[in-house]
Chain A
Amino acid sequence: MARLLRAPLALAAPAMVAVVVSLVPLVYLINTSLQRGVQQLIDEIFVSRTATLVMRSLALTVVVTVACAVLGTINAWFVVRSSAPLRPLWLMLLAMPLAIPSYLSAFAWITWIPSLNGYFGAAIVLTLASYPYVMLPVAAMLRGADPQLEDVAQSLGVSPLRSITRVTLRQVSPAIWAGSLLVALYVVSDFGAVATMRLETFTWVIYGAYRAGFNPTRAATLSLVLIGVALLLVVLERRVRGRTVQRVGSGSARHAVRQSPLSLTLPAMAVAITSLGFGIGVPVISSISWTRSSGFVDWAEVWSTIAASFGVGALTGLATVLLALPVGILLARFKGRLNGFTEGAVYVTHSLPGIVIALSVVYFGISIARPFYQQIPLLVFGQMIIFLPLVVGSVRTSIEQSRPAYEDVARSLGISRMKTIFRVTIPLAIPGIAAGGALAVLGAVKELPTTLILRPTGLDTLATSIWKYSSVSDFGAIGPYAVALMLLAALPTAVLSTVTVLRVIK
């Protein structure tokens, strides 16, 4: 498997643009935290409360990530390997919690069970919201995995369950790790769920530094700590992912035959039904009940906010894919000294809460891009920074799963490197582009804090309308927007799972 050693400039240059874009928040944070001097910065970091909060955020992150790894893997196994009927439909439904913003589901839970606030409630909401990040890549990998190893294990007298834990799990472990990294970064950055559940985590305190402390310098310093945590997570994931089981030798993989006994399918189905009931059922039923209690709904306003959300989402999806594509290709197909740096730069920003990203765009936008300030382009730019890692990851996986031999053939036929990329590599990346684009659209439609700060004055999206009415406790008015947001976000979620379905169930 010969790998091209150095990337062509036409690929490396746009990839570096993506890196520069990703570094915008970091530069802002360093500048802002140094405003009051290095000593202040060090003092802020080394107060005992910072340590307590980091530990609490990490504890939440570990619990949610482990829960998502378990739930996501079981659900993935259920939709790929079990003997349940209608598995593509199951997969699509099980991905749907992605369409529900964490602030909305947390709000639904806490109005249903007020005593659920705190650690437990936040863990439940975040787990149910983010297990699909593990389920989708694991499902894809499970389908591609060679079942012969399982056959061998079972022929040696190993029980079906043990062959799953000892063989199958190892085969799909790269996907579990990659998905878990996204979950972990998301949990570290989430504010909606922890705020509603009133759990003082690190992001809660960063928002608090803006909202209650009126102290952007302190918020910036704390965000730098968060970036440190994120770097640790990225490095950890890279090291673990490096040691994975690979298929060796020639011959072709046989597609997995469903052979799972009912004794495994039924419990997995119970897990899937529970995921659906709590992950989708609770927020959807709450939102519909809010809608029914409302007297008057201004449907014209609802429609115009749907249009605004859709427009912003589509532009963000498009822009993020264009920026992510060169990075994904670079990371998947070329080896370079800067790969680790590129990957780190792109990923760490995903751990930052939305308000920090937004203010970093304000910081630069107001001086450098004044004509676009508080206009759609800078809103899209801010959202693009947040969702870039999701799209990069998706494009990269898609290319990595295809054989580099295709490109080698093209090159041996005398086609230039850039032409090879356009004619071979990008077509290979299409499933990843579709899935990644869907993730970005999905995220943009749900995103609240960056939208609030960067939107053009007077522009309402579904997310900002929910915010507007929830702050005056107008449940009746929230209902239609909440339902509309979930329906709109269900579209990219369906695209996402369809791409996976096409890869998974042929």
Chain B
Amino acid sequence: MKNSSIIRVAFALGAMTLLAACGGSGGSDSSSNNDSSNTDSTTRDLEGQSITIYSGRNETLMAPLFAEFTTATGINVEVRYGDSGELAALIMTEGDKSPADVYFSQDAGALGAVQDAALFTTLPTDITALIEPQFQSTSGNWAATSGRARVVVYNPALVSVPPMSLDDLLNSQWMGKIGYAPSNASWQSFVTALRLTRGEDGARAWLTDFAANKPVAYEKNGVVRDAVNAGEVSLGLINHYYLYELIASTGPEKVVAKNLYFKDGEAGSLINIAGVGVLASSARTDAALEFVRYLLSTAGQTYFVERTFEYPMISGVSPFSELPTLRELNPPAIDLADLKSIEVTQALLEDVGLLTR
């Protein structure tokens, strides 16, 4: 079967990721020398340079990718890991004296904040031409590097007719049967998108009804997924890749849960992005841009597809064949930078009683 072979590949790659992560960044990676097409004369001049990356993305997931970048380009990286929002605040406090060359963020909101502070340089067109306009800053200051889709993960043993839309989730048949992670940033981005698409009143109405359906709060998205897979709850509101992480770590035979995509242009079809920008204060702009090019190269994008199971942003790399394409997903027509009003979202969530229960 085609599906199970993909899953086996995913499993093997996941295991390799773990080994690579455990081995540390010192070991050289034999698989990453096939990128010689990338190493033109400009890159050779940059060999031996070192750039500093502020990464809001987690070390266990990203360290192997950064090591591959160094192997491919000869440019060394120093990485400072932290929370995306806190790193944005750090950059804004450091101002034009920031030691950072690159800011790699988990979400668009934080990138928008650094852009508003006028601390990014404009990305050259060879980079911005690679990706759809909806997945980059309107002023060319940052570019998305990968995407994650909101999904409903469900347990087929408990769900005969899956919900087809956000409003189906409000049906009383799901009373007490939906899991969600109230403190998770992607959940809060989803609610922010709900505010942007349905307006404040519409969002409040949906959330009030959702709260009346007594959803079950879990600490993290991964725990929601496990609860659905174990049959504790029937549905879970999470991101698409959590299912594939589980398959990679336990093997496909232990996973019964499946992902469901609404594809209706509403907040339930939101695609959150991780993205990158180069700081205007950087003295090593060329090397920093080379890093951005690497993230958006075939090798970089394949890494996201195979190891973090995310959506690629360039047309040359396809997502898993079992995932719907970005176009099929039909995400809501919103400016991703507008997702930064998370504080308003949190106040609303608290107000309708969905933050603590």
The judgment on whether A and B are partners is yes
Residues of chain A whose beta carbon lies under 8 Å from any beta carbon of chain B? 49, 107, 110-111, 114-115, 117-119, 195-200, 205, 208-216, 219, 296, 298, 301, 355, 359, 362-363, 366-367, 370, 373-374, 449, 452-453, 457-458, 468-469, 471-474, 477
B113 within 8 A of A: yes
Complex CA distance for A41 and B85, rounded to whole angstroms: 22
B83: A residues at CB distance < 8 A: 211, 452
A214: B residues at CB distance < 8 A: 85, 88-89, 92, 109-110, 112-113, 340
Q: Which of A114, A196, A212, A474 is within 8 Å of B60, CB to CB?
A: A474
Q: Mind listing 27 A-B residue pairs with CB under 8 Å?
A: A49-B347, A114-B218, A200-B350, A208-B342, A210-B89, A211-B83, A211-B84, A212-B188, A212-B346, A213-B342, A214-B88, A214-B109, A214-B112, A216-B93, A219-B89, A296-B18, A355-B89, A359-B90, A366-B95, A366-B97, A374-B80, A453-B82, A458-B80, A468-B81, A469-B60, A473-B223, A474-B60
Asked if A212 contacts B58 (CB within 8 A), the reply is: no
* CB nearest neighbor in B for A360: B93
B29 within 8 A of A: no
Q: Give B238-293 interface residues, CB cut-off 8 Å to A.
A: none
Complex CA distance for A433 and B222, rounded to whole angstroms: 46
B132 within 8 A of A: no
Complex CA distance for A210 and B22, rounded to whole angstroms: 32
Complex CA distance for A503 and B294, rounded to whole angstroms: 63
Q: Which of B80, B86, B182 is within 8 Å of A198, CB to CB?
A: B182
Q: Give B311-341 interface residues, CB cut-off 8 Å to A.
A: 340
Beyond the given pairs A214-B89, A366-B98, 11 more chain A to chain B contacts, judged by CB atoms under 8 angstroms and listed by A's residue number, are A208-B343, A211-B85, A211-B86, A214-B88, A214-B92, A214-B113, A216-B92, A355-B86, A362-B90, A363-B93, A453-B90
Residue tally, chain B, CB below 8 Å to A: 52
Complex CA distance for A362 and B218, rounded to whole angstroms: 35
Asked if A199 contacts B220 (CB within 8 A), the reply is: no
Complex CA distance for A362 and B219, rounded to whole angstroms: 32
B217 within 8 A of A: yes
Majority-rule SS of B interface residues:
helix
Complex CA distance for A247 and B83, rounded to whole angstroms: 54
- Most A Cβ at <10 Å: residue of B78, B97, B182, B343: B343
B164 within 8 A of A: no
Asked if B86 contacts A208 (CB within 8 A), the reply is: no
Q: Which of A195, A205, A366 is within 8 Å of B183, CB to CB?
A: A195
Q: Which of A114, A117, A366 is within 8 Å of B94, CB to CB?
A: A366
Asked if A373 contacts B22 (CB within 8 A), the reply is: no
B61 within 8 A of A: yes
Q: Give B185-223 interface residues, CB cut-off 8 Å to A.
A: 185, 188, 217-223
Asked if B81 contacts A359 (CB within 8 A), the reply is: no
B47 within 8 A of A: no
Asked if A199 contacts B86 (CB within 8 A), the reply is: no
Asked if A209 contacts B217 (CB within 8 A), the reply is: no
Evaluate whether A472 and B97 lie within 8 angstroms (CB atoms) in the complex, with A210-B86, A212-B85 already known: no
Asked if A213 contacts B343 (CB within 8 A), the reply is: yes
* CB nearest neighbor in B for A301: B24
B356 within 8 A of A: yes
A219: B residues at CB distance < 8 A: 89
Q: Which of A115, A374, A468 is within 8 Å of B59, CB to CB?
A: A468
Q: Which of B113, B218, B346, B357 is within 8 Å of A200, CB to CB?
A: B346
A110: B residues at CB distance < 8 A: 219
